[in-house]
Chain A
Amino acid sequence: MRLSISHETTYHYEDPVRASIQYLRLTPHDSERQQVISWQLDLPRPVRAQVDPFGNILHVLTLDEPHDAIVIRARGQVDIDELREAEHEGQSAFPFLRCTRLTEPDEALRGFADQHCQQRRDRNALIDLMHALNQSMVYTPGATEVDTCAAQAFAGGAGVCQDHTHAFLACARSLGIPARYVSGYLYSEDSTHLTSHAWAEAWLEDAWYSFDVTNQMARPQRHLKLAVGLDYLDACPVRGMRRGGGHEQMHAKVLVMPTPVIEVQQQ
């Protein structure tokens, strides 16, 4: 199916920002599941696209002139093969075994993973883990912060998609299964609404399989992938630093336009 997306993010600052630099991961790339028909990123200055260490498309926005707002607009069309459940990649999955500060498993997480997966290391084991994590961590915006680690969020029994994903990664890696953080969009069943979202992928039988703990989905049925990484910090849409600016307010508007695809009937 084809999605037509517009994502506008505006940052407002109470004082002028003297200088800022942002790593932006707002551009999807082609994969087995996704074909980018067109994609445009409108930024305050022209910026060349690069590829980051995880293969994500990266734009580095440096603003040297004082500014009190930054407007970033991403729009484009992507064809999604909704039936495809697994993605193959040439790169080694071993680097995704390591844990980061945000995904370090503590005894509680290790125990939880052992309890729900036992000796199993297959897709069903991770599906069970996904459901169990969803039950144990109630979706609660505001319960955690952007730098809350998996162990803390799990102990608190609450979090948002970022925390669900970090907890899943901590568990999967503690079982010796390479797993990675995915940042992207989730679209509604009728494809009229789109939100920024995060979920996990795990490497099983030589391919990456999706595990969305928040929505309890083991297939990427309504997911559009933007970036991957070891955790939120590697894959997040915007990561930056600034000098000055005071209080920051961020507004995001994500729209999806219906794009009927005319199917050519086979005679």
Chain B
Amino acid sequence: MIRTCFDEMYDGAGQVRPHYREFARWLAQTPPELLAQRRREADLLFHRAGITFTLYGDEQDTERLIPFDIIPRSIPLSEWQIVERGCIQRVKALNLFLADLYHEQRIIKAGIIPAEQVLANEQYQLAMQGLDLHRNLYSHISGIDLVRDGDGTYYVLEDNLRTPSGVSYMLEDRKMMMRLFPELFAAQRIAPIDHYPSLLLDTLKSASPIDNPCVVVLTPGRFNSAFFEHAFLAREMGVELVEGADLFVRDDHVFMRTTDGPKAVDVIYRRLDDAFLDPLAFNPDSMLGVPGLLAAYRCGNVVLANAIGTGVADDKSVYPFVTEMIRFYLDEEPILKNVPTFQCRKPDELSHVLANLPHLVVKETQGSGGYGMLVGPASSAAEIEAFRARVKAKPHAYIAQPTLCLSTCPTFVDNGIAPRHIDLRPFVLSGKETRVVPGGLTRVALREGSLVVNSSQGGGTKDTWVVED
């Protein structure tokens, strides 16, 4: 991997890239005090709107603003079209994989993925075996995390097929930019994204075989870190936001309690993990789900978006097989690359990983949110040794990848503007067709040199622009 990072705005010679020229011109012409004032306005407006996220790991979990940076991450349309096709291809293959895994298991019989890798996987849900879903869709809403290496090549860092979040920040960031800097949107053609909620509603409705189905958003409640997004999306789509206690199952059908009496529910956009969905089938201590929901689901009387059991396909130990899935199910070459991945459950790969820890990023196969991982080059010798012991104790629970030099984008920092590492999460909606809203959520690691962009660990966001060439 190349050691110098790709900068989104400046090329190797320090010149502004063509798709950033309009923005660069505007930035040069705008007085710093005006910029500072608008940035303060943004903070105030975000606070007022309650666009917050819970940061774990402090002494108490604190609700904070997710820092928003006004310098956009810009992508030329021609480049975006390739990324878009690549994401659609990937999600199509992953949905075909899930349908296959829970039915004939052809990919296992063909010897491409070892049976034990998926069938003994904790995320493999027996409840889905043999269950036929409408349109064979499992992940209706997918978030594909992309990064760029030193030569500008896009790599898929990870797939998110369970309850991917962040789209509300994408939408609010754009609204904020248009409100604060309307002149930027007049100067060039930036692809709109505000139709996401109606695309989402369309996708959720098409997930059901029923005509004009009743759709609800199921949230764990106000204390969940992404509650803002659950409420936001329900409001934007014009559907009810419910908690588990608002729903009940009778005779294998799901109903919502309303002031007009029980109302049948057909599609649940659930932002609850599988384990919490039904206390009679999964975690018995969960107060967040609906007793009897699994029975109703297996009878085909309600659609869950996303389906139960998608976690086996976005598991980090299955990630290395995704490019093979694209070839196997679609007979196409993958458009987007996987990051080369070492699977510690394989003895020869494990010894390579243990011998090279200072140069690798090591992740738990069941981890998320940037927790439980080692970033070799940024760790002390003591941290590396401690992690070595963990990997040796449970090798099958870890994968490792070379450190990528994530691309950077100029960002406002304490002393002015400086490059900070970013990633990109496009949101892919799978319904009658598979569609992607242009751009996605760009997350930025605000600490200098940090490669961890997750909002739960203090990252921020930027508006993402797909600019016509």
Please state if B124 and A60 are interface contacts (CB–CB under 8 Å).
no
| 78-108 of chain A: CB within 8 A of chain B | 91-92, 94-95, 97-98
* A175, chain B: closest CB distance, angstroms: 14
What residues of chain B lie closer than 8 Å to A64, measured between beta carbons?
Answer: 250
Say whether A11 faces chain B, with CB atoms less than 8 Å apart.
no
Say whether A120 faces chain B, with CB atoms less than 8 Å apart.
no
* B349, chain A: closest CB distance, angstroms: 20
Please state if A94 and B252 are interface contacts (CB–CB under 8 Å).
no
What residues of chain B lie closer than 8 Å to A19, measured between beta carbons?
Answer: 248
Residue of B nearest to A63 (CB): B250
Please state if B295 and A241 are interface contacts (CB–CB under 8 Å).
no
Say whether A10 faces chain B, with CB atoms less than 8 Å apart.
no
Q: How large is the interface on B (under 10, 10 to 19, 20 to 34, 35 or more residues)?
A: 20 to 34
Please state if A241 and B120 are interface contacts (CB–CB under 8 Å).
no
Please state if A53 and B126 are interface contacts (CB–CB under 8 Å).
yes
Say whether B220 faces chain A, with CB atoms less than 8 Å apart.
no
Please state if A54 and B295 are interface contacts (CB–CB under 8 Å).
no
Report how far A241 CA is from B289 CA in the complex, Å: 12
Report how far A62 CA is from B128 CA in the complex, Å: 23
* B448, chain A: closest CB distance, angstroms: 42
Count the A-B residue pairs with Cβ separation under 8 angstroms: how many? 61
Say whether A218 faces chain B, with CB atoms less than 8 Å apart.
no
Say whether B280 faces chain A, with CB atoms less than 8 Å apart.
yes
Q: Does more than half of chain B's interface fall in helix, strand or loop, or is it mixed?
A: loop
Please state if B280 and A53 are interface contacts (CB–CB under 8 Å).
no
Say whether B334 faces chain A, with CB atoms less than 8 Å apart.
no
Say whether A140 faces chain B, with CB atoms less than 8 Å apart.
no
Encode contact with B along A225-267: 1 for CB under 8 Å, 0 otherwise: 0000000010000011100000000000000000000000000
Say whether A202 faces chain B, with CB atoms less than 8 Å apart.
no
Report how far A54 CA is from B119 CA in the complex, Å: 14
Please state if B292 and A92 are interface contacts (CB–CB under 8 Å).
no
Say whether B281 faces chain A, with CB atoms less than 8 Å apart.
yes
What residues of chain A lie closer than 8 Å to B295, measured between beta carbons?
Answer: 23, 50, 58, 60
What residues of chain A lie closer than 8 Å to B281, measured between beta carbons?
Answer: 23, 53
* A110, chain B: closest CB distance, angstroms: 12
Say whether A21 faces chain B, with CB atoms less than 8 Å apart.
yes
What residues of chain B lie closer than 8 Å to A239, measured between beta carbons?
Answer: 280, 284
Encode contact with A along B243-286: 1 for CB under 8 Å, 0 otherwise: 00000111110000000000000000000000000011100100
Interface centre among A19, A60, A91, A97 (most CB of B within 10 A): A60
Say whether B33 faces chain A, with CB atoms less than 8 Å apart.
no
Report how far A92 CA is from B166 CA in the complex, Å: 37
Report how far A98 CA is from B118 CA in the complex, Å: 11
* A147, chain B: closest CB distance, angstroms: 8
Please state if A97 and B126 are interface contacts (CB–CB under 8 Å).
no
What residues of chain B lie closer than 8 Å to A53, measured between beta carbons?
Answer: 125-129, 281, 298
Please state if A241 and B279 are interface contacts (CB–CB under 8 Å).
yes
Please state if A62 and B116 are interface contacts (CB–CB under 8 Å).
no
Please state if B291 and A241 are interface contacts (CB–CB under 8 Å).
yes
Encode contact with B along A16-37: 1 for CB under 8 Å, 0 otherwise: 0001011100000000000000
Please state if A21 and B119 are interface contacts (CB–CB under 8 Å).
no
Residue of B nearest to A173 (CB): B120
Report how far A148 CA is from B365 CA in the complex, Å: 28
* B295, chain A: closest CB distance, angstroms: 5
Residue of B nearest to A48 (CB): B252
Encode contact with B along A65-82: 1 for CB under 8 Å, 0 otherwise: 000000000000000000
Say whether B381 faces chain A, with CB atoms less than 8 Å apart.
no
Please state if B115 and A233 are interface contacts (CB–CB under 8 Å).
no
Please state if B129 and A97 are interface contacts (CB–CB under 8 Å).
no
Say whether B132 faces chain A, with CB atoms less than 8 Å apart.
no
What residues of chain A lie closer than 8 Å to B291, measured between beta carbons?
Answer: 21, 240-241
Report how far A50 CA is from B284 CA in the complex, Å: 21
Please state if A233 and B125 are interface contacts (CB–CB under 8 Å).
no
Encode contact with A along B115-144: 1 for CB under 8 Å, 0 otherwise: 110011110111111000000000000000
What residues of chain A lie closer than 8 Å to B127, measured between beta carbons?
Answer: 52-53
Report how far A2 CA is from B17 CA in the complex, Å: 83
Report how far A22 CA is from B125 CA in the complex, Å: 21
Q: Which of A22, A50, A97 is in CB contact (< 8 Å) with B116?
A: A97
Please state if B299 and A240 are interface contacts (CB–CB under 8 Å).
no
Report how far A48 CA is from B301 CA in the complex, Å: 14
Please state if B280 and A23 are interface contacts (CB–CB under 8 Å).
yes
Report how far A95 CA is from B120 CA in the complex, Å: 5
What residues of chain A lie closer than 8 Å to B128, measured between beta carbons?
Answer: 53
What residues of chain A lie closer than 8 Å to B298, measured between beta carbons?
Answer: 50, 52-53
Report how far A52 CA is from B128 CA in the complex, Å: 10
What residues of chain B lie closer than 8 Å to A48, measured between beta carbons?
Answer: 252
Please state if A54 and B120 are interface contacts (CB–CB under 8 Å).
no
* A172, chain B: closest CB distance, angstroms: 14
Q: Which of A23, A92, A233 is in CB contact (< 8 Å) with B119?
A: A92
Report how far A94 CA is from B121 CA in the complex, Å: 9
Residue of B nearest to A22 (CB): B280
Report how far A97 CA is from B126 CA in the complex, Å: 13
Please state if B120 and A62 are interface contacts (CB–CB under 8 Å).
no
Report how far A97 CA is from B124 CA in the complex, Å: 12
* B247, chain A: closest CB distance, angstroms: 12
What residues of chain B lie closer than 8 Å to A95, measured between beta carbons?
Answer: 119-120, 124, 126
Q: Closest 10 interchain pairs by CB? A: A94-B119, A53-B127, A53-B126, A97-B120, A241-B291, A60-B295, A94-B120, A21-B292, A21-B291, A62-B250
| Chain A positions near chain B (C-beta within 8 angstroms) | 19, 21-23, 48, 50, 52-54, 58, 60, 62, 64, 91-92, 94-95, 97-98, 147, 233, 239-241
- Sample 21 A-B pairs with CB under 8 A, ordered by A number: A22-B280, A23-B295, A50-B252, A50-B298, A50-B299, A53-B129, A53-B281, A58-B295, A60-B252, A60-B292, A62-B249, A62-B251, A91-B129, A94-B119, A94-B120, A97-B116, A97-B120, A233-B284, A239-B280, A241-B279, A241-B291
Since A21-B291, A23-B292, A147-B284 are in contact, a sample of 11 more A-B pairs with Cβ atoms closer than 8 Å, ordered by chain A residue number, is: A21-B249, A52-B298, A53-B125, A53-B127, A53-B129, A53-B298, A62-B292, A92-B119, A94-B120, A95-B124, A241-B280
